[in-house]
Chain A
Amino acid sequence: GDSVTQMEGPVTLSEEAFLTINCTYTATGYPSLFWYVQYPGEGLQLLLKATKADDKGSNKGFEATYRKETTSFHLEKGSVQVSDSAVYFCALGPNTGNQFYFGTGTSLTVIP
Protein backbone atom coordinates (compact mmCIF):
# COMPACT_ATOMS: atom_id res chain seq x y z
CA GLY A 1 0.00 0.00 0.00
CA ASP A 2 0.90 3.67 -0.06
CA SER A 3 3.42 4.85 2.52
CA VAL A 4 5.94 7.54 3.38
CA THR A 5 9.37 7.04 4.93
CA GLN A 6 10.98 10.06 6.46
CA MET A 7 14.45 10.71 7.82
CA GLU A 8 14.71 10.09 11.53
CA GLY A 9 15.62 12.96 13.78
CA PRO A 10 16.32 14.88 15.74
CA VAL A 11 18.40 17.18 13.58
CA THR A 12 20.44 19.99 15.12
CA LEU A 13 22.00 22.66 12.92
CA SER A 14 23.74 25.96 13.43
CA GLU A 15 22.09 29.08 12.08
CA GLU A 16 22.77 29.61 8.33
CA ALA A 17 23.58 25.93 7.78
CA PHE A 18 22.13 23.96 4.86
CA LEU A 19 19.18 21.72 5.62
CA THR A 20 18.11 18.47 3.97
CA ILE A 21 15.35 16.24 5.33
CA ASN A 22 14.91 13.08 3.31
CA CYS A 23 11.52 11.69 2.34
CA THR A 24 10.73 8.74 0.11
CA TYR A 25 7.35 7.36 -0.79
CA THR A 26 5.60 4.29 -2.13
CA ALA A 27 2.47 4.84 -4.19
CA THR A 28 0.72 3.03 -7.00
CA GLY A 29 -0.29 6.22 -8.78
CA TYR A 30 0.96 9.80 -8.79
CA PRO A 31 -0.52 11.52 -5.77
CA SER A 32 0.44 14.99 -4.64
CA LEU A 33 3.25 15.32 -2.10
CA PHE A 34 3.36 17.71 0.81
CA TRP A 35 5.58 19.06 3.53
CA TYR A 36 3.89 20.27 6.69
CA VAL A 37 5.54 22.04 9.63
CA GLN A 38 4.48 21.93 13.27
CA TYR A 39 5.68 24.56 15.71
CA PRO A 40 5.56 23.80 19.45
CA GLY A 41 2.02 23.70 20.81
CA GLU A 42 0.41 24.14 17.41
CA GLY A 43 -1.23 22.11 14.65
CA LEU A 44 0.33 21.31 11.30
CA GLN A 45 0.78 24.08 8.76
CA LEU A 46 1.15 23.47 5.06
CA LEU A 47 4.69 24.41 4.05
CA LEU A 48 4.72 23.41 0.39
CA LYS A 49 3.31 20.92 -2.08
CA ALA A 50 3.97 19.44 -5.50
CA THR A 51 1.33 17.82 -7.64
CA LYS A 52 3.23 15.97 -10.36
CA ALA A 53 6.64 14.60 -11.31
CA ASP A 54 9.43 17.20 -11.57
CA ASP A 55 7.28 19.85 -9.90
CA LYS A 56 9.14 21.94 -7.37
CA GLY A 57 7.25 23.26 -4.37
CA SER A 58 8.71 26.25 -2.54
CA ASN A 59 7.83 28.52 0.34
CA LYS A 60 9.76 30.65 2.88
CA GLY A 61 13.09 29.56 1.41
CA PHE A 62 12.23 25.84 1.61
CA GLU A 63 12.13 23.73 -1.55
CA ALA A 64 11.27 20.16 -2.49
CA THR A 65 11.15 18.48 -5.91
CA TYR A 66 8.82 15.61 -6.79
CA ARG A 67 11.20 12.94 -8.13
CA LYS A 68 9.38 10.02 -9.72
CA GLU A 69 12.53 8.12 -10.69
CA THR A 70 13.80 8.03 -7.09
CA THR A 71 10.34 8.22 -5.45
CA SER A 72 11.59 11.06 -3.29
CA PHE A 73 10.52 14.48 -2.08
CA HIS A 74 13.44 15.77 -0.02
CA LEU A 75 13.05 19.08 1.81
CA GLU A 76 15.91 21.59 1.50
CA LYS A 77 16.73 25.07 2.70
CA GLY A 78 19.94 26.90 1.95
CA SER A 79 20.29 28.84 5.19
CA VAL A 80 18.23 27.92 8.25
CA GLN A 81 17.22 30.33 10.98
CA VAL A 82 16.43 29.80 14.65
CA SER A 83 12.77 30.41 13.80
CA ASP A 84 12.80 27.29 11.57
CA SER A 85 13.04 25.09 14.66
CA ALA A 86 9.99 22.82 14.43
CA VAL A 87 8.87 19.33 13.45
CA TYR A 88 8.58 18.66 9.72
CA PHE A 89 6.22 16.07 8.22
CA CYS A 90 6.31 14.65 4.73
CA ALA A 91 2.89 13.51 3.45
CA LEU A 92 1.37 11.67 0.52
CA GLY A 93 -1.96 12.97 -0.72
CA PRO A 94 -5.02 10.92 -1.65
CA ASN A 95 -4.36 8.37 -4.36
CA THR A 96 -6.96 5.74 -5.15
CA GLY A 97 -8.75 6.43 -1.89
CA ASN A 98 -9.22 9.57 0.17
CA GLN A 99 -6.58 8.96 2.80
CA PHE A 100 -3.40 10.94 3.42
CA TYR A 101 -0.23 9.22 4.61
CA PHE A 102 2.22 11.00 6.89
CA GLY A 103 5.82 10.34 7.74
CA THR A 104 6.89 10.08 11.36
CA GLY A 105 8.13 13.66 11.52
CA THR A 106 11.64 15.08 11.83
CA SER A 107 12.43 17.43 14.65
CA LEU A 108 14.75 20.30 13.69
CA THR A 109 16.53 22.51 16.18
CA VAL A 110 18.54 25.47 14.92
CA ILE A 111 21.03 26.96 17.36
CA PRO A 112 22.37 30.52 17.12
Chain B
Amino acid sequence: KAGVTQTPRYLIKTRGQQVTLSCSPISGHRSVSWYQQTPGQGLQFLFEYFSETQRNKGNFPGRFSGRQFSNSRSEMNVSTLELGDSALYLCASKLAGQDTQYFGPGTRLTVL
Protein backbone atom coordinates (compact mmCIF):
# COMPACT_ATOMS: atom_id res chain seq x y z
CA LYS B 1 0.00 0.00 0.00
CA ALA B 2 1.36 3.39 -0.91
CA GLY B 3 2.26 5.72 1.92
CA VAL B 4 1.29 9.32 2.47
CA THR B 5 2.46 11.51 -0.39
CA GLN B 6 3.01 15.23 -0.35
CA THR B 7 3.58 17.59 -3.24
CA PRO B 8 5.62 19.51 -3.97
CA ARG B 9 8.60 18.42 -1.89
CA TYR B 10 10.28 21.81 -2.07
CA LEU B 11 8.95 25.32 -2.63
CA ILE B 12 10.55 28.72 -2.70
CA LYS B 13 8.28 31.75 -2.42
CA THR B 14 8.67 35.41 -1.63
CA ARG B 15 7.02 37.41 1.12
CA GLY B 16 3.42 38.35 0.40
CA GLN B 17 2.78 35.46 -1.97
CA GLN B 18 0.45 32.60 -1.24
CA VAL B 19 1.11 28.87 -1.47
CA THR B 20 -0.90 25.67 -1.67
CA LEU B 21 0.45 22.34 -0.48
CA SER B 22 -1.11 18.99 -1.25
CA CYS B 23 -1.37 15.74 0.69
CA SER B 24 -2.67 12.36 -0.44
CA PRO B 25 -3.34 10.03 2.50
CA ILE B 26 -2.91 6.29 2.61
CA SER B 27 -5.79 4.61 0.80
CA GLY B 28 -8.75 4.22 3.16
CA HIS B 29 -7.53 6.84 5.63
CA ARG B 30 -10.10 9.58 6.07
CA SER B 31 -8.34 11.63 8.74
CA VAL B 32 -5.62 14.02 7.61
CA SER B 33 -3.64 16.27 9.93
CA TRP B 34 -1.15 19.01 9.12
CA TYR B 35 1.86 20.07 11.18
CA GLN B 36 4.46 22.80 10.90
CA GLN B 37 7.98 21.85 11.92
CA THR B 38 10.63 24.49 12.62
CA PRO B 39 13.94 24.26 14.48
CA GLY B 40 12.78 26.72 17.13
CA GLN B 41 9.20 25.59 17.73
CA GLY B 42 9.37 21.89 17.01
CA LEU B 43 6.28 20.16 15.68
CA GLN B 44 3.16 22.31 15.88
CA PHE B 45 -0.34 21.12 15.04
CA LEU B 46 -2.14 23.14 12.36
CA PHE B 47 -5.43 21.35 11.77
CA GLU B 48 -7.13 18.02 11.23
CA TYR B 49 -9.72 17.08 8.64
CA PHE B 50 -12.05 14.11 8.63
CA SER B 51 -14.57 13.42 5.89
CA GLU B 52 -14.17 16.92 4.45
CA THR B 53 -14.78 18.62 7.83
CA GLN B 54 -12.24 20.39 9.99
CA ARG B 55 -12.34 18.64 13.37
CA ASN B 56 -9.48 20.35 15.17
CA LYS B 57 -7.49 23.50 14.72
CA GLY B 58 -4.23 24.59 16.26
CA ASN B 59 -3.22 28.06 17.29
CA PHE B 60 -2.27 29.57 13.94
CA PRO B 61 -3.46 32.78 12.29
CA GLY B 62 -6.23 32.80 9.73
CA ARG B 63 -3.65 33.02 6.94
CA PHE B 64 -3.35 29.25 7.34
CA SER B 65 -6.30 27.34 5.98
CA GLY B 66 -7.05 23.93 4.64
CA ARG B 67 -9.62 21.73 3.05
CA GLN B 68 -10.28 18.10 2.32
CA PHE B 69 -11.85 16.61 -0.75
CA SER B 70 -14.25 13.72 -1.08
CA ASN B 71 -11.37 11.37 -1.97
CA SER B 72 -9.69 12.38 1.35
CA ARG B 73 -6.90 14.30 -0.35
CA SER B 74 -6.16 17.49 1.50
CA GLU B 75 -4.66 20.84 0.70
CA MET B 76 -3.39 23.57 2.94
CA ASN B 77 -3.03 27.16 1.89
CA VAL B 78 -0.94 29.92 3.38
CA SER B 79 -1.70 33.44 2.22
CA THR B 80 0.42 36.56 2.55
CA LEU B 81 3.56 34.59 3.30
CA GLU B 82 5.96 35.82 5.97
CA LEU B 83 9.60 34.92 6.50
CA GLY B 84 8.60 33.03 9.65
CA ASP B 85 6.45 30.66 7.60
CA SER B 86 9.61 28.97 6.32
CA ALA B 87 9.30 25.44 7.66
CA LEU B 88 8.79 21.78 6.89
CA TYR B 89 5.06 21.13 6.54
CA LEU B 90 4.10 17.58 7.40
CA CYS B 91 0.91 15.77 6.63
CA ALA B 92 -0.25 12.67 8.50
CA SER B 93 -3.15 10.32 7.93
CA LYS B 94 -4.89 7.69 10.00
CA LEU B 95 -7.79 5.30 9.83
CA ALA B 96 -11.07 6.27 11.45
CA GLY B 97 -11.23 4.90 14.96
CA GLN B 98 -7.52 4.09 15.07
CA ASP B 99 -4.90 6.03 16.95
CA THR B 100 -1.78 5.69 14.83
CA GLN B 101 -0.76 8.47 12.46
CA TYR B 102 1.41 7.89 9.40
CA PHE B 103 3.43 10.78 8.07
CA GLY B 104 4.38 11.91 4.61
CA PRO B 105 7.88 13.12 3.70
CA GLY B 106 6.90 16.77 4.07
CA THR B 107 7.05 19.90 1.94
CA ARG B 108 9.99 22.19 2.62
CA LEU B 109 8.79 25.79 2.19
CA THR B 110 11.32 28.60 2.03
CA VAL B 111 10.08 32.18 2.10
CA LEU B 112 12.53 34.80 0.86
| Interface SS majority for chain B | strand
- The size of the chain B interface, using a CB distance under 8 A, is 22
Chain B CB within 8 A of A89 CB: yes
Q: Which of A66-110 contact B (CB under 8 A)?
A: 89, 93-94, 97-100, 102-105
Q: Tell me if B42 and A105 are in contact (CB < 8 A).
A: yes
Q: A51-B99, A99-B48 are in contact. List 17 more A-B contacts (CB 8 A).
A: A32-B99, A42-B106, A43-B4, A43-B105, A46-B100, A46-B101, A89-B43, A93-B99, A98-B31, A98-B48, A100-B33, A100-B45, A102-B35, A102-B42, A102-B43, A105-B42, A105-B43
Binding site for A on B (CB under 8 A): 4, 6, 31, 33, 35, 42-43, 45, 48, 50, 55-56, 90, 92, 99-106
A-B contact pairs, 18 of them (CB 8 A): A32-B100, A43-B90, A43-B105, A44-B90, A46-B100, A46-B101, A46-B102, A49-B100, A51-B99, A89-B43, A93-B100, A98-B56, A99-B45, A100-B45, A102-B42, A102-B43, A104-B43, A105-B43
